[in-house]
Amino acid sequence: MARIVMKFGGTSVADLDRIHNVARHVKREVDAGNQVAVVVSAMAGKTNELVGWVQAMPKVAGAKASFYDAREYDAIVASGEQVTSGLLAIALQSMGVDARSWQGWQIPVKTDNAHGAARILDIDGSELIRRFEMGQVAVVAGFQGVGPDNRLATLGRGGSDTSAVAIAAAVKADRCDIYTDVDGVYTTDPRMVPKARRMKKIAFEEMLEMASLGAKVLQVRSVELAMVHKVRTFVRSSFDDPDAPEMSDQLNPPGTLICDEEEIVEQEVVTGIAYAKDEAQISLRRLADRPGVSAAIFGPLADSHINVDMIVQNISEDGSRTDMTFTVPSGDADKALEVLAGEKDVIGYDVVQSESGLAKISVIGIGMRSHAGVAATAFKALAEKSINIKAITTSEIKISILIDGAYAELAVRTLHSVYGLDKT
């Protein structure tokens, strides 16, 4: 007998037929004698619809352009998961499985106060464990918890993955299975590159980079939690036949295991390519080259919860003036420009320029630590396709390259081939 957390994403619960299909996956694990908690997302497209409704509401008089009340945003967008958790509990009951739905606050999943992008602080797993012992399946609404203000808080887009891994850690589950619409983690997004290969295993650190650099198959925070709490996490498909014999394999189910680097025998130099479209570049021209300038720029941006990514500062020629360029998600560009305009006198720049519609392509692999020339290979391959590079950042295990968004797909395919990742 094992204790398992099973998470089903939006496309897996997109309609009532699929919810019944999910119930069959759950029943299989229950029939095998396992203790099961399920975490569900909202039906595909639902959260986007709810977010759209919030954004379409009239602004409160005096509020800044793109701001709305984050507590009410959470109250609204968390509702999609409430519906699917109830529906799945009913589907399970109709199959003779004892099941009960749980909202975040009922467990409780306690979060901090960062409404819209809250972090889980603590989960009391005791009631879930009591239910396991009664043979009951808990169907938990993902993506939500309760903040210190006693109000609903959501965990950021894609947050049900994090709910699942955090619950798995809290109840000391043997496994956390993330069921989605692909059958594992691939060398790059298989929807963009049909030649992408599925990996049997991927190291936590590589998965963290893949996720934070755009591969939305897992939310970044879920990978961090899995790594810290050593949760055995598999990514697998809900579209596989629930009753196929290999689906019952308890040790190595079909899919990709996220694991410690030591568990991977044949480590490649480059394991994957990730991309993030919709990046915007902002440049501040002719800044004073003095201590405190970066803090004056990035402090206020951080205070406004703007996620700044690639940062490039020129070395000034004469030690007096310099340029600073950085990227933000396109959706945050207006807000960032607004913040920078408000701080113009403090920062002391001359002009600000921005460009959106860019893409960041990243090459990831732990093997890069011990191999030279990986970056040069990427630059040469992109040059041969006449793709211009606007900015570059590197770390020990990744290289990120900013390019015009129109070339994103070509660049991903080119790099995927040049590093020998194509399926043969």
Q: Between residues 158 and 365, which has the closer beta carbon with respect to ligand ASP?
A: 158
Shortest distance, position 45 Cβ to Mg ion, whole Å? 13
Question: How many helices (H) does the chain have, and how many strands (E)?
Answer: 13, 18
Q: Which long-range contacts (CB under 8 A, 24 or more apart) does 304-308 make?
A: 304/335, 304/336, 304/339, 305/114, 305/117, 306/332, 306/335, 306/336, 306/339, 307/332, 308/336
Cα–Cα distances in Å, from 52 out to 43, 63, 82? Answer: 15, 18, 18
Asked if residue 34 lies in contact with residue 1, where contact means CB atoms within 8 angstroms, the answer is yes
Q: Of the two residues 84 and 101, which places its CB atom closer to ligand ADP in the complex?
A: 84
Select from ligand ASP, ligand ADP, Mg ion, none the partner in contact with residue 191, using the beta carbon and a kind-dependent cut-off of 5 to 8 Å.
Answer: ligand ADP
Binding residues: 7-10, 47, 81, 180-181, 186, 191, 216-217
Residue 42 in the binding site for ligand ASP (CB under 6 A): yes
Pick 12 or 34: Cβ nearer ligand ADP: 12
Which of 21, 47, 103, 188 binds ligand ADP (CB under 6 A)? It is 188
**210: nearest Cα among 247, 231, 235:** 235
Q: Cis peptide before 254, with omega less than 30 degrees from 0?
A: no
**47 is a contact residue toward ligand ASP (CB under 6 A):** yes
- Interface pick for ligand ADP out of 216, 277, 285, 321 (rule CB under 6 A): 216
Contacted entry of ligand ASP, ligand ADP, Mg ion, none for residue 157, CB cut-off 5 to 8 Å set by kind: ligand ASP
Position 215 contacts ligand ADP (CB under 6 A): yes
What is the closest distance, in whole angstroms, from the C-beta atom of residue 61 to ligand ADP in the complex?
37
Measured from the CB atom, is 13 or 363 closer to ligand ASP?
A: 13
Residue with tokens 């893409």: 359
Residues 28-67 that bind ligand ADP (CB under 6 A): 41
Q: Is 92 helix (H, G, I), strand (E, B) or coil?
A: helix
The CA distance from 255 to 235, in Å, is 5
Report the site for ligand ADP in 349-408 (rule: CB under 6 A): none
Among residues 10, 145, 365, 405, which is the contact residue for ligand ASP, using CB under 6 A?
10
Q: Select the residue whose beta carbon is closest to ligand ADP and give its number.
A: 9
Query: Parallel, antiparallel, or unpaired: how do β-strands 99-102 and 137-141 relate?
Result: parallel
Instruction: Determine the residue type at 422.
Output: D
Residues sharing a CB contact under 8 Å with residue 208, sequence separation 6 or more, in sequence order: 220, 223, 224, 227
Distance CA 101, CA 139 (A): 5
Among 176, 182, 207, 257, binds ligand ADP (CB under 6 A): 182
Q: Is 159 in the site for Mg ion (CB under 5 A)?
A: no
> What backbone phi and psi angles, to 5 degrees, belong to 160?
-65, -30
Among the residue ranges 6-14, 320-328, 330-338, 393-401, the one whose residues contact ligand ADP (CB under 6 A): 6-14
Q: Shortest Cβ distance from residue 277 to ligand ASP (Å)?
A: 17
Which segments are annotated as binding site for ATP? Answer: 7-10, 180-181, 186, 191, 216-217
What's the gap between Cα 376 and its chain centre?
A: 29
Q: Quote the radius of gyration of the chain (alpha carbons, Å).
A: 23
Closer by beta carbon to ligand ASP, 128 or else 141: 141
Put the strands of the sheet holding 144-146 in their side by side order. Answer: 120-123, 109-111, 144-146, 152-154
- In this structure, are residues 323 and 287 in contact, taking their beta carbons and an 8 Å threshold? yes
Identify the residue among 116, 125, 158, 329 touching ligand ASP (CB under 6 A). 158
Using the contact rule CB under 6 A, the part of the chain among 158-166, 184-192, 317-325, 362-370 near ligand ASP is 158-166
Of 88 and 368, which CB lies nearer to ligand ASP in the complex structure? 88
Element (H, E) at 357: strand 351-364
Which residues of this protein are in contact with Mg ion, per CB under 5 A?
A: 9, 158
User: Binding residues for ligand ADP, per CB under 6 A?
Assistant: 9-12, 41, 158, 180-182, 185-186, 188-191, 210, 215-217, 272
> Which residues contact ligand ASP (rule: CB under 6 A)?
9-10, 41-42, 47, 80, 142-143, 157-161
